[in-house]
Amino acid sequence: MADTNYISGIVKILENPKQKLVNKTIPVTEFRVQLPQFKNNTIVNLVFWGNLGKDVTNYYKLNDYIIIEGYLSLKNKKTLNLSKRVTITVLKIYPFLLSSSHFGTKG
């Protein structure tokens, strides 16, 4: 079982969201982000369930900064060095700094 904690922070989107279906009915969206507040620029995975994931796919793009709130979980990877995989299940999301492509500018 994984330990969970409530977390909020600003993250930078590093990749385009990937959507999949769980039990053929529930949409789940996942992608990697960077926590720029830390010196080593920690990379974590975000998970969005249901319609929130669809909204994220429609409104946010690569290199956007967003504010998130959700539950942090740490899981052991099945590798030789037993590193931890950090995942945040997001409950709330807010725009922070959006790229110029959101505003219809050319260039």
pLDDT in tens, the chain (107 residues): 555 589 999 999 999 999 999 888 889 999 999 988 767 768 899 999 999 988 999 999 999 999 999 999 887 766 566 567 789 999 999 988 877 666 555 54
Q: Which CATH number fits domain 4-100: 2.40.50.140, 3.30.70.260, 2.102.10.10, 3.50.50.60?
A: 2.40.50.140
Q: Distances in Å between the alpha carbon of 81 and those of 45, 60, 64, 76, 85? A: 19, 34, 32, 10, 12
Structure tokens at 45: 């995975």
Q: Where are the domains of the chain?
A: 4-100
